[in-house]
Amino acid sequence: MQLSSLLERFSEPETLKMAKLGRELRAQGVDVIDLSLGEPDFDTPSHIKEAAIKAINDNWSHYTPVPGFLDVREAACTKLKRDNNLDYNPTEIVVSTGAKQSLANAILALVDDGEEVIIPTPYWVTYSELVKIARGKVVEVRTSQASGFKITPQQLEAAITPKTKVFLFSSPCNPSGAVYNKEELKALAEVFKKHPNIFIISDEIYEFINYVGAHESIAQFEELKERIVIVNGLSKGFAMTGWRLGYTASSAIIAKAMEKIQGQTTSGTCSITQKAAVTALTGDLAATWDMTKEFTRRKKRVLELVKEIPGIECSEPDGAFYIFPDVSSFYGKSDGNVVVNNSADFSMYILNTAHVSSVMGAAFGEPDCVRFSFANNIENIERGWARIKDALAKLK
């Protein structure tokens, strides 16, 4: 059967592959602890659920406008002003079926054949694959644990060529947990000011899961604002991964371009979710902060547990709900049965021996590390890390 060549240009998300392998083992009766997935394990806050139930009863059951209902786009503007002190109007907002679609819209609207997209490593698995779908060229800039997994202005400047079209990054970062502060963003902004043809896609989906202070958006630098696409959504901060709503804030020209793409793919996202989004975006954030408080507690615990394991180098994440330790000291070691040569081997070894799922760092462009989520309860985190410790002690 001859399928399209597009399929050969990109890969299936490694995060979903690991979750699938974990589920398969579980189906065989194995007690697998899932530290691979990127979603809050909390229930959606009740005031948001009630808004959705009301929307069903009020018969919000028809097709929705392609860029989203006006009240949702207004709610996004209200949120951007309230939380980020950014001024946008509803013609600059496009609501999509998850931040993943927002990213796809932005990349497809901006990137042409052979144009370069600079992505600091480690990055969320989907970024590079979306660039390949758009026939762009991924330019990875490697950061390290020593630099807090943040790109420096010098590294950025050195990566820019006449073909550079987009700079794409997340802060807080999945998977490293790096959070750029205002000064760091300003230093990057100074570089972009010298290169007026480069667009910036700023993925801020982990905005509320921040352990170091107020969230800073690169869109605060007025001279750059026209060239920035902010990506955000409900999945992480409101525990609404299955509801599927993301949004962008950008110039009206880019918004129109993204609307055109979305108009021929999915159209407007779910009417019920949109109505609930108005409540989520403009409502009380107490439930969100409670979740972040619980993530803080788990982060502390997981760091204590990891510290007890010789050979794992782990820095403290400033945001999101993952640790991203360097496990390269185990490369070349064996339990007498399998040899661990890279991050994929490490993840598979931990899955098969400790029955804990994780995601190999290579999928995020960082071959020395592996991502472990702490979006799981403390009991599972403790059980999981005890098993990992035992499994690693066997590697000689």
Residues that bind ligand PMP in the complex, under the rule CB under 6 A: 38, 98-100, 124, 170, 174, 203, 205, 233, 235, 241, 246
217 and 267 in contact (C-beta within 8 Å)? no
**How far is it, in rounded angstroms, from Cα 290 to Cα 95?**
26
Q: How far is the CB of 170 from ligand PMP (least distance, A)?
A: 4
H runs (alpha helix) in the chain: 6-9, 14-27, 46-57, 70-84, 99-110, 126-133, 153-159, 182-193, 252-263, 271-282, 286-307, 343-349, 378-393
Q: How far is the CB of 68 from ligand PMP (least distance, A)?
A: 14
Give least dist CB 246 to ligand PMP, A. 4
Nearer to ligand PMP, 323 or 392 (CB): 323
User: At its nearest, how many Å lie between ligand PMP and the CB of residue 206?
Assistant: 7
**92 or 203: CB nearest ligand PMP:** 203
CB of 205 to ligand PMP, least distance (A): 4
CB of 88 to ligand PMP, least distance (A): 19
**Residues in Cβ contact with 34 at an 8 Å cutoff, skipping those fewer than 6 apart:** 19, 22, 357, 373, 376, 380
Tell me the two tokens of residue 225.
């604002």
Single-letter residue type at 262: Q
**Residue 134 Cβ vs ligand PMP, minimum distance, rounded to whole Å:** 17
Query: In the complex with ligand PMP, which residue's Cβ is closer, 60 or 238?
Result: 238
Q: Cβ closer to ligand PMP: 321 or 349? A: 321
- Using the minimum distance from each CB to ligand PMP, give the nearer residue, 207 or 294: 207
| 209 or 340: CB nearest ligand PMP | 209
Least distance in angstroms from the C-beta of 298 to ligand PMP: 17
* Separation of alpha carbons 109 and 131, rounded Å: 11
For the chain, the residue count is: 396
Q: What DSSP string describes 248-265?
A: EE--HHHHHHHHHHHHTT
Can you name the residues that pair with 370 across neighbouring β-strands?
A: 360
Beta bridge partners of 167: 118, 200
Q: Name the residue number minimizing CB distance to ligand PMP.
A: 98
Q: Which residues have CB under 8 Å from 182's CB, separation 6+?
A: 216, 220
Structure tokens at 333: 């070691």
Complex with ligand PMP: residue 43 or 308, whichever CB lies closer: 43
CA separation (Å) from 183 to 152, 179, 186, 247, 322?
A: 11, 12, 5, 26, 24
The CB-of-103 to ligand PMP minimum distance in angstroms stands at 6
**Min CB(222)–ligand PMP separation in Å:** 25
Q: Which is nearer to ligand PMP, 38 or 45 (CB)?
A: 38
The secondary structure of 129-154 as a DSSP string is HHHHHTT-EEEEEE--TTTTT---HH
Which residue, 121 or 235, has its beta carbon nearer to ligand PMP? Answer: 235
CA angle, residues 217, 223, 227, in degrees to nearest 5: 70
Strands 199-203 and 246-249: unpaired
